Amino acid sequence: MSAARLKRIVIAGGGTAGWMAAAALARTLGKSIELTLIESDAIGTIGVGESTIPPLVAYNRLLGINEADFMRATQATFKLGILFDDWKEKGSRYFHSFGTTGQDHWSAGFQHFWLYGRDRGHQQPYDDYCLELVAALQGKFAHLPEDRMNYAYQLDSGLYAKFLRSMAEADGTRRVEGRIATVELDGETGNIASLTLDTGANIQGDLFLDCTGFRALLIEQHLHAGFDDWTHWLPCDSAIAIQTASIGPPVPYTRAMAHDAGWQWRIPLQHRVGNGLVYCSRYLDHDTALERLLGNIEGETLVQPNKLRFTSGVRRRQWHRNCIAVGLSGGFMEPLESTSIHLIQRAVLRLIRMLPLSEISERDVAEFNDQQHADMLQIRDFLVLHYKATERSDSPFWRYCRDMAVPDTLTQKIELFRETGRVFRKNEELFAENSWVQVMMGQGIMPRAWHPIAEKLSDEELARLLATVRDNVARTASGLPTHGTYVARYCGASSARAA
C-alpha cells in the first residue's frame, strides 16, 4: 500500500520569495495541492530587491503572465544590464550587458576575434559589438523579432509581491495573516508538523517553505540547517535604501557606482528611482554612509531611509527534513549582480520538478541541495571577481579586496582567461561566457593570447567581420525608440514619464 499523498504545502512568509513560490506552485499544480501562505503585516517585508536578470522573463512566460500587465502593475522598466562606475579604478566605467557580443565560432568566443583584431590595428571598443550594450547607453529599447533583445526588468518590489499575491489567490492559495509564534516538530521524525500563530490558529502541513527572510525561522531557528559565512570574500554587510522621485525618463539599466567602502545602486522605475548604498561596516559607519548616499542621489526623497544588515553566505542545507528555504532564508550574496530573485526562481522551479508524490526521498533532497549549492558557488565567484580584480588602492576597503585570497575556482577562471582568453560555462551556470568576458575586461583583466582560429581569417576577412557586426549593431540601435517612449506606449502606468 502506498503512503499518503503529500498534499498540504505551507509557505511561511509573504515577501517576494513567498509570493513567487505561491504563484508558481498554485498555477502549476492547481487543485492537486492545498497551498497556504502565512504572512505578517506587522513584520513586513525587506522592501528592496528591484533589479532582476533575464531568466525572470522566462519565469513569467512559464506562468502565463502577460508582460505588459505585469510591467504596468509593478511600475517596471526594461533592464539591459548594469553600468559599473569606478570599480577597476576611479574614473573607469564598464557595462555588463545581457546581450551577446559579436559572433562566436563554435570553437571560440567573439573575444578571440576582437583580441586578434586589436593586435591587427582595429581599435574599436569591445562594447561596440553588443546591441544591448549600445542600446542601453543610448537610452533605447524595443522588443525585437526572435527575442533578439535580451532583457530583464527593474520593478517595485512591494507592487511585485502584490501582483503575485492576486495571481496566487486567484489560483487557490489560502492566505493567513498572523505572526508565527511557535513551530511544532514531530517528536518521531523531527519534521515540522505545524505552525501556531499569535492569533491561536494552528496550520498543519506536509511540506513547509521557509520564506521568512533573514530570520530563517523554520530552516535555521528550528531545524538548524547551518550557514556558511562568505563575508571574507564578500565583505559588504550593510545597506541603506531610499526612494527618490524621477528627474527624467528612466534609463534601461541599473547603475552600480563604487565608493571607497562599497558601492551605490540606482534603479530607475516608471514612477520613481530606487537608490541604495551598500557598504562594509568595518570601513564605514552608518551616519557617514547615509550622508554619502544623500549627497549622491537625484530628485526629492520619497521615504525615510531603510537601514539593512546582512551577511553574505549560504544555508548549508537548503532542503532539510520537510522544509525548504526559499529566498533570503536560503542565503544571500549581496545585491551587486541582482541574483537574489533569480535564486528564488531557481529554487521554486527545482522544487516543482522534484515535488514528492508521498514520502520525501532523500535522493531528491540531496539532488536539490547539490544543485542549489552549485548555483550559489558559481554566483559567489562571479561576484567576488568584481571586488578582487580591482586596481583601486585608495582606501583600506579596496586594499583588503585586492589582496584577499579568493576561491580556487575563481583563480582558475581568472588565470585561464588571462592566459588564453577562454571562459567555460559549467553545467547550468547562470553567467555565461559573455558576462565573464565583459566583467573581466571591464575590471582590467586582458587576455595575453587568443584562439588560433582567429588567425585563419585574412586581414580583409577580419576587417569585414568586425565592420559588419559593428555596423549592424549601430544601425539596429539607431532605429530603436527611446526606452521612455517605448515603456509609456507598451506598459505605461499612470505616472510614467516618456522621453
Applying the rule CB under 6 A, the residues between 241 and 280 that interact with ligand FAD are 276
User: Per-residue x/- mask for ligand FAD, residues 298 to 317, rule CB under 6 A?
Assistant: ----------x-x-------
Give the one residue of 135, 203, 217, 496 binding ligand FAD; rule: CB under 6 A: 217
Query: Is 234 in contact with 387 (CB distance < 8 Å)?
Result: yes
Give the one residue of 81, 213, 313, 484 binding ligand FAD; rule: CB under 6 A: 213
Report if residue 40 touches ligand FAD, rule: CB under 6 A.
yes
Rg of the Cα atoms in the chain = 23
Query: Is 236 in contact with 453 (CB distance < 8 Å)?
Result: no
Q: Which three cell numbers stand for residue 312?
A: 553574505
Q: Phi/psi of residue 205, each to 5°?
A: -160, 165
Report if residue 158 touches ligand FAD, rule: CB under 6 A.
no
Between the alpha carbon of residue 21 and those of residues 15, 131, 194, the distances in Å are 10, 33, 19
Size of the site for ligand FAD (CB under 6 A): 36
Q: Is 147 left (phi over 0), alpha (psi -120 to 50) or beta?
A: left
Instruction: Using DSSP, state whether 9 is helix, strand or coil.
Output: strand
Nearer to ligand FAD, 50 or 86 (CB): 50
Closest contact distance (angstroms) between CB of 46 and ligand FAD is 4
Closest contact distance (angstroms) between CB of 47 and ligand FAD is 7
CA angle, corner 114, sides to 480 and 439, nearest 5? 75
Report if residue 335 touches ligand FAD, rule: CB under 6 A.
yes
Give the dihedral sign, CA 220/8/363/427: negative
Report if residue 156 touches ligand FAD, rule: CB under 6 A.
no
From 221-229, 337-345, 376-384, 431-439, give the range in contact with ligand FAD by CB under 6 A: 337-345
Closest contact distance (angstroms) between CB of 394 and ligand FAD is 24
Query: Is beta strand 207-210 parallel, antiparallel or unpaired with respect to 8-12?
Result: parallel
Closest contact distance (angstroms) between CB of 157 and ligand FAD is 6
Nearer to ligand FAD, 40 or 482 (CB): 40
Nearer to ligand FAD, 97 or 101 (CB): 97
Applying the rule CB under 6 A, the residues between 223 and 242 that interact with ligand FAD are 239
Report if residue 50 touches ligand FAD, rule: CB under 6 A.
yes
Question: DSSP letter at 51?
Answer: B
Query: Is 197 in contact with 37 (CB distance < 8 Å)?
Result: no
- DSSP annotation string for 278-326: EE-TTT--HHHHHHHHHTT--S-B-S--EEEE---EEES-SEETTEEE-
Spatial distance between the Cα atoms of 488 and 476, rounded to a whole number of angstroms = 21
Spatial distance between the Cα atoms of 198 and 234, rounded to a whole number of angstroms = 37
From 12-20, 61-69, 120-128, 478-486, give the range in contact with ligand FAD by CB under 6 A: 12-20
Report if residue 338 touches ligand FAD, rule: CB under 6 A.
yes
Q: What single-letter amino acid sits at 397?
A: F
- Looking up cell 552608518, which residue turns up? 286
From 24-32, 34-42, 145-153, 425-433, give the range in contact with ligand FAD by CB under 6 A: 34-42
Report if residue 379 touches ligand FAD, rule: CB under 6 A.
no
Report if residue 30 touches ligand FAD, rule: CB under 6 A.
no
Instruction: Using DSSP, state whether 180 is helix, strand or coil.
Output: strand
From 37-45, 282-290, 368-376, 393-401, give the range in contact with ligand FAD by CB under 6 A: 37-45
Closest contact distance (angstroms) between CB of 240 and ligand FAD is 8
- Contacting residues toward ligand FAD, per CB under 6 A: 13-18, 38-40, 43-46, 48-52, 157, 179-180, 211-213, 215, 217, 239, 276, 308, 310, 327-328, 335, 338, 340-341
